[in-house]
Homo-oligomer: A and B are copies of this chain.
Amino acid sequence: MAIATPFDPAARRGQLDITLPTRYAGTRRVTLRYELRGRAGAPLVLVAGGISANRHLGASAEFPESGWWDPQVGTGRALDPRRLRLLALDWLGADGSLDAPIDPADQGDAIAALLDALHEDRLDAFIGCSYGAVVGLQFAARHGDRLGRLVAVAGTHRAHPFASAWRALQRRAVALGALQCDEADGVVLARQLALLSYRTPAAYAARFGPARVVDGRVRVGAEDYLDHCAAGYAATTPPVAFLRLSESLDLQAVDPARITSPVTLVAVPGDLLVPLEDVHALAEGLRGETCLRLLDSIHGHDAFLKEHAAVSAILREALDDLVACDAAAVAA
């Protein structure tokens, strides 16, 4: 039986300059920013979200602001820092300093370099959602000897051409804004288009009412929501960071046969960006123990941020061996 240790060690942040060979930008000196939290000696789990996520997973004593995955991270939650060491990083390129195509393989290699710098041999688990799943698959393919288990939520081995087209048009919006030296407006529109792709028609129907005429223009039910959500994003996201991380999703190409680690795949049947067929194709191609969990949700691609209980149950199950083994080791 797993027994929690009673303390929750301090979260700490750091940054490391590393030399990274990249696929499209040559060998670069880059800065990696990370946050690490959890009991010393506990299993090490890297947790990665979408292109807008960052190294701050959840509120802690040291960093009390909300993280991007608070419902899953914290004492008593699926990702409990009393039982696990939780590592997260800001994506390579997230600060806008790398204005070149960023292959998701580069992100996987950056994570391996981060482990080296932290003197960690391996990750007991890599939990990735959306772009995090894309990078997790790269890490599993390229550094599988350093990985215990991958949990890949809403992401696959290839970019779907429809999702890629949707993202390419988001990048066109940024370009249209940039033409007039109004990059912020371009990023706002791009983010709104991205937000649209993250949910489902059913979710919009449940939430938003009909259009109205306001000041001689038609304003639809979702516009307040889209305005609100995109404004904050554009205010804090460098256009170059958005463009290059958006592109990176479209460069995903992993041969599933290169992955031999155990993998838990989590798919949302209504996900407009990651169709279930692609997750099935991935599951069939993987070489290691594979488990596919369906997350039935009205929220589509965003389900990992909305279906707290179901996601928690999947994470607990996927990490069960890890936590149990660790508890046994601690008890031994």
Contacts of A209 in B (CB 8 A): 161
Query: A210–B169 contact, CB under 8 A?
Result: no
In the complex, A218 Cα to B210 Cα: how many Å?
Answer: 37
- A99 CB to nearest chain B CB (Å): 9
Interface size on A, residues (CB 8 A): 56
- A192-B169, A222-B168 known; A100-B161 Cβ under 8 A: no
- In the complex, the chain B residue whose C-beta lies closest to that of A177 is B176
In the complex, A224 Cα to B220 Cα: how many Å?
Answer: 31
In the complex, A2 Cα to B281 Cα: how many Å?
Answer: 51
Query: B162–A200 contact, CB under 8 A?
Result: yes
Contacts of A67 in B (CB 8 A): none
Query: B218–A250 contact, CB under 8 A?
Result: yes
CB < 8 Å neighbour of A173 from B173, B202, B208, B275: B173
CB < 8 Å neighbour of A161 from B165, B172, B220: B220
Query: B160–A172 contact, CB under 8 A?
Result: no
Query: B213–A160 contact, CB under 8 A?
Result: no
- A164-B222, A196-B169 known; A201-B24 Cβ under 8 A: no
In the complex, A165 Cα to B167 Cα: how many Å?
Answer: 17
Answer yes or no: A294 CB below 8 A from chain B CBs. Answer: no
Contacts from A to B (Cβ < 8 Å): 24, 100-101, 158-169, 172-173, 176-177, 179-180, 182, 185-186, 189, 192-193, 196, 199-205, 207-211, 213, 216-223, 226, 247, 250-251, 253, 272, 275
Kindly list the 10 A-B residue pairs having the minimum CB-CB distance in the complex, ordered from nearest: A180-B180, A162-B201, A162-B204, A218-B247, A164-B220, A165-B222, A161-B208, A211-B250, A161-B204, A168-B220
